[in-house]
Amino acid sequence: MTPLNSAHALEIIDLKKAFGGLIATQNVSLSIRPGERRLIIGPNGAGKTTLFNQISGDMRPSSGQIRLFGTDVTAFAPYRRAHFGLSRTYQIITLFAGDTLEHNVTLGLLGLRPSRWQMWRPLAAYGDLATEARRILDAVGLLHLAAHPVSDIAYGEKRRVELAMALAQKPRVLLLDEPLAGLSNSERSTVKSLIAAIPRETTVIMIEHDMDTALDLAETVTLLNYGRVIVDGERDAVIADQRTREVYLGA
């Protein structure tokens, strides 16, 4: 493992990604400190999710480097990055619809444990996994639905299961891809307080369009447009910046 005292939790150096002639990420460089709360904003198609996909390893960048706590992970497969402390949620809900909430969260726990290779012992025999999964479900307020299949629960609850699965991994860096998308006002405030309660050992990087909620959670903001970093810095400075108004907030 790399030293935890590395200056940056996540460092992106001159990242480029092109799909044929379409350039989705252009010379993106970012440095995010351990424990930082970073919000990534930008119009639709600015390349926010593409950037996340490259950080998580779902997509290989055309060039450039991604470093997690000082280690170059650019060539790492997604599962290796997960073992390095990186976790993510998806903009489009990606859960195991036929399985119970408890099983979904259990998979999140299992992914980082050696017992995921165990073939001769029923999963149900791991009492500690079940206890831990239920504790996490309780933390996101879904314990009462633990035994229900994901397909039975409401959309807003699925968003919270997404979050619970990622939190189960106690990540060092957490990527949240529109955690508030499609939620009602009351659900928003629930999820907002869940995100606010994430411990400082976890660096949080979030894509979100709901500025009212997201700005409260963020310390620093990066504005992307056409795959480029337009403005990057402390929250209030970025919001006050003229270019942010032009590109994103609108007049």
| Interface residues toward another protein, by CB under 8 A | 56-58, 77-79, 82-83, 87-88, 90, 94-98, 103, 106-108, 110-112, 115-124, 126, 165, 169
In terms of CB distance, is 78 or 233 closer to another protein?
78
CB of 128 to another protein, least distance (A): 12
Length of the chain: 251
87: left (phi over 0), alpha (psi -120 to 50) or beta: beta
Structure tokens at 171: 């990540």
Give the integer Cα–Cα distance in Å for 133 and 99: 14
Structure tokens at 243: 């270019």
In terms of CB distance, is 130 or 221 closer to another protein?
130
In terms of CB distance, is 7 or 97 closer to another protein?
97
Structure tokens at 233: 């810095």
CB of 90 to another protein, least distance (A): 7
CB of 51 to another protein, least distance (A): 15
Structure tokens at 181: 């998308």
CB of 97 to another protein, least distance (A): 8
In terms of CB distance, is 117 or 185 closer to another protein?
117
In terms of CB distance, is 89 or 244 closer to another protein?
89
Closest CA to 41 of 214, 249, 222, 219: 222
CB of 245 to another protein, least distance (A): 35
CB of 78 to another protein, least distance (A): 4
Computed on alpha carbons and rounded to an integer, the radius of gyration of the chain in Å comes to: 18
In terms of CB distance, is 152 or 234 closer to another protein?
152
In terms of CB distance, is 114 or 199 closer to another protein?
114
Structure tokens at 16: 């480029």
Structure tokens at 31: 């440095």
CB of 56 to another protein, least distance (A): 6
Helices 101-110, 127-139: axis angle to 10 degrees equals 110
Give the integer Cα–Cα distance in Å for 178 and 49: 9
DSSP string, 158-175: HHHHHHHHHHTT--SEEE
